[in-house]
Chains A and B, each alone.
Chain A
Amino acid sequence: MFAERASWWVTLFKLSPLLVPFCVLFLGGLVLAVAQSLGFWLPVPVSGGLFDGYGVLLNPHVLASARFSLWVALASAVISVSAGAVLAYAVWRLPHGLERASVVYKVPLILPHIAVAFIVLVFWSQSGVVASFAFHLGLVDGVSDFPSVLYGPEGGGMILAYVFKEIPFVVILAHAVLKRLDPRLVETAHMLGAGRARVFLQVVLPHMRPALNTSFIILFLFSFGAFDIPFLLARSSPGMLPVEVYNLYFRRDLSHRPEAMALLVCMFLFALGFVSLYTRIASRLEQGDRKL
């Protein structure tokens, strides 16, 4: 089917239901964040230079917080995508009845982020379910003996929460792609003597790769910039960047507004840069397949 070419005016008209709210809410909000980060249009006037808000961001506390955010986002996205890919393949290989029944994997997807954070709390806190099991297995002697998974410097609690919540998302995307893969390809590879790992890496994985790239971008940026889970699970210092912004915005006085907005602008630019860099690298690896 050949798509008809539309004139510029028709395009503008047809896209206007989305363009107007997009410009007002999204771009408007963004422009205001930039303006406030530079010291304009603030609720109360703040003395200081144009880039003072950005200068403050270079202090060690904020840098540590940025490193921490990157680590949590990277670790949770890598684990979710890898585990999700393997699970999607496993689900696809199930016999038909079981494949249908395995929709239960979507449960964490329905749970809201704060509920997932709560579940991780219940399981992994020092007096949680896992600690109780460890006690009965003789691995720990008491509450204080169980490692502080949740509030340790690795951000384990948040990573666990994101992984639990995000694996089903990867499985959905990857499984949808696998449905278009001919199972006979896998059978043939097996018959020709390829092992399980080799079939997965060389037949199945290349087929899933566009979906995995998309989900990696989405998940990485989501856990980098989301607020709900860190707010419930993070230790205070250095916290995730969204929690830092929250503290600057709500907990401190209005003179910190430029810093909060400067931090948001930096996060936005990082997200933009990440998407363009990642899609460029991924498309070079796959010769121009569409990612998003």
Chain B
Amino acid sequence: MRAYFTFVFIAVCSLLPLLVLIVYAVAPGWTFPELVPSELDWRALQYAASQWQPILRHLSVSVLYSLAVVALSLVLCLFPAHHFAYRRFRGKSMLEGVFLAPALVPSMTFSMGAQYLFIRVGLTDTLFGVVLVLTAFSYPYMLRALTAGYQAVGEEYELCARNLGAGFWMRLLRIELPLLMPSVIAGGSVVFLVAFSEYFLVFLIGGGAVDSYTGYLFPYLASSDRSMGSLLCLVFLAVPVLLFLLVEYGVSRMYRERGMY
């Protein structure tokens, strides 16, 4: 009985806000002090439907640069994570701490200086600039996940493959990455979420020239039109959930086909 109470409490706290957003989306006229809206209205839905092109455009650019950030951070962190997991060297723990710094110190402190650098080399207002700055801010999650992953897997598989004559790419693609997949997914999910929901850095480096869903959403959230804001927030939530389901499905299929689990 107590267990059910705990569960209901957690579920209500997490889902009630979403319920309210859903209600707002179909009842733009819902105002104080009504507990439930007096009438339903599809105005916001219709407006959103008429705006499907800009919504889809901003959404897809956001997904695109977030996935690029995941890919780039994976490429950048693979070697260092391997090294951190399996080797001892001077200054190891200090370097590990230093590499985590971008996730800990306020992102503004380096991004504004970086913006000046980007202006100088012409990277502001470009998709690549946005990807770079988001990667600089979110790679620590990938690094941590991969280091832990390498430690959990152990070096033996790799040594074994090397002894059997597998080359670098063979080992990477056929042995290491499949074994690391859970860590890649864990780190990648966090990196994706951080990149996908970031507003300020995209605004700073993208400067409005790079479409982003957060940038599109912001004016609606700040306006008094709660209905449109709610609807767009729900769309926001749907994207990562959909993506995670897709990844979950794809990975479990891959594992089944290879007979790994």
Chain A nearest CB, measured from B224 CB (Å): 10
| Chain B, Cβ-Cβ closest to A271 | B105
Residues of chain A within 8 A (CB-CB) of B222 are: 232
Does B139 make an interface contact (CB < 8 A)? yes
A31 to B90 Cα, complex, angstroms: 25
In the complex where A5-B89, A8-B89, A111-B233 touch, is A25 in contact with B133 (Cβ < 8 A)? yes
* B238 and chain A: residue at smallest CB distance: A110
Closest-CB distance, B13 to chain A (whole angstroms): 8
Q: Which of B53-111 contact A (CB under 8 A)?
A: 75-80, 82-83, 86-90, 95, 97-111
Nearest CB in chain B: distance from A236 CB, A: 14
Q: Count A/B pairs, Cβ under 8 Å.
A: 250
C-beta contact mask, B179-211 vs A, less than 8 Å → 1, else 0? 000000000000001001111100000000000
Interface residues of B in 110-162 (CB under 8 A from A): 110-117, 132-133, 135-136, 139, 143, 154-155
Closest CB of chain A to B238's CB: distance in Å? 10
Report A-chain residues with C-beta under 8 Å of the C-beta of B104. Answer: 217-218, 221, 271, 275
Interface residue ranges of A109-165 to B (CB < 8 Å): 109-115, 117-119, 121-123, 126-129, 131-133, 135-136, 143, 164
Complex Cα–Cα for A94 and B9 (A): 12
B233 touches A115 (CB 8 A): yes
Enumerate chain B residues within 8 angstroms of A62, measured Cβ to Cβ: none
Contact A131 B33 (CB under 8 A): yes
Contact A110 B237 (CB under 8 A): yes
> Given A14-B80, A136-B35, are A26 and B233 neighbors across the interface (CB < 8 Å)?
no
Are A17 and B76 in touch, CB under 8 angstroms? yes
Q: Decide yes or no whether B259 CB sits under 8 A from chain A.
A: no
A234: Cβ under 8 A from any B Cβ: no
For residue B31, CB closer than 8 A to chain A, the reply is yes
Please tell me if the beta carbons of B114 and A135 are within 8 angstroms of each other in the complex: no
Query: Given the complex, which residues of A lie within 8 Å of B83, measured CB to CB?
Result: 6, 10-11, 14-15
Give the residues in chain A near B163, CB-CB below 8 Å: none
Contact B105 A268 (CB under 8 A): yes
Chain A nearest CB from B93 CB (Å) reads: 9
Q: Are B193 and A109 in contact (CB under 8 A)?
A: yes
Q: Would you call the interface of chain B mostly helix, strand, loop, or mixed? A: helix
Are A112 and B20 in contact, with the CB atoms below 8 A?
A: no
> Within the complex, what minimum Cβ distance (angstroms) separates B197 from chain A?
3
Chain A nearest CB from B119 CB (Å) reads 8
Return chain A residues, CB-CB under 8 Å to B135: 21
A117 and B236 alpha carbons, distance in the complex (Å) = 14
CA distance A10 to B230 in the complex (A): 52
Number of interface residues of B (CB under 8 A): 81
Given A94-B3, A272-B105, residue A114 in contact with residue B136 (CB < 8 A): no
Cα of A242 to Cα of B110 in the assembled complex, Å: 13
Q: How far is the CA of A114 from the CA of B232 in the complex (A)?
A: 12
B255 close to A (CB within 8 Å):
no
Q: How far is the CB of A270 from chain B (nearest CB, A)?
A: 9
| B99 proximity list for chain A (CB < 8 A) | 18, 22
B217: contacting residue among A11, A108, A114, CB under 8 A: A114
* Cα separation A245 to B88 with both chains bound (whole Å): 41
Q: How many residues of A contact B (CB 8 A)?
A: 91
Give every chain B residue within 8 A of A113 (Cβ-Cβ): 197, 199
Q: Which of A36, A115, A267 contacts B236 (CB 8 A)?
A: A115
A111 and B241 alpha carbons, distance in the complex (Å): 10
CB–CB B18/A129 < 8 A: no
Cross-chain contact A227 with B4 (CB below 8 angstroms): no
Which chain B residues (1-54) contact chain A, with CB distance < 8 Å?
A: 3-4, 6-7, 10-11, 13-15, 17-18, 20-21, 24, 31-35
Q: How far is the CB of A275 from chain B (nearest CB, A)?
A: 6
Q: Are A110 and B241 in contact (CB under 8 A)?
A: yes
* Min CB–CB distance B124 → chain A (angstroms): 13
Pair A249/B112 contact, Cβ less than 8 Å: yes
Q: Which residue of B lies closest to A266 (CB)?
A: B109
Assuming the contacts A18-B99, A25-B132, asked whether A271 and B106 have C-beta atoms less than 8 A apart, the reply is yes
A-side contacts of B143, CB under 8 Å: 18
Check if A36 sits within 8 Å of B10, measured CB to CB.
no
A selection of 13 A-B contacts at a CB cut-off of 8 Å is: A6-B87, A15-B79, A26-B114, A28-B114, A29-B109, A95-B3, A114-B221, A122-B20, A131-B33, A218-B103, A226-B106, A267-B108, A271-B104
Nearest 4 Cβ contacts at the A-B interface: A225-B106, A112-B197, A32-B113, A29-B113
Chain A interface (Cβ < 8 Å from any Cβ of B) = 1, 3-8, 10-11, 14-18, 21-22, 24-33, 36, 41, 43, 87, 90-91, 93-95, 98, 101-102, 104-115, 117-119, 121-123, 126-129, 131-133, 135-136, 143, 164, 168, 217-218, 221, 224-228, 231-232, 242, 245, 249, 260-261, 264-265, 267-268, 271-272, 275, 292
Q: Known pairs A11-B89, A131-B32, A232-B218. 15 more at Cβ < 8 A?
A: A6-B88, A7-B89, A18-B77, A21-B132, A25-B136, A28-B114, A29-B109, A33-B109, A115-B236, A128-B32, A218-B103, A242-B106, A265-B109, A267-B109, A271-B109
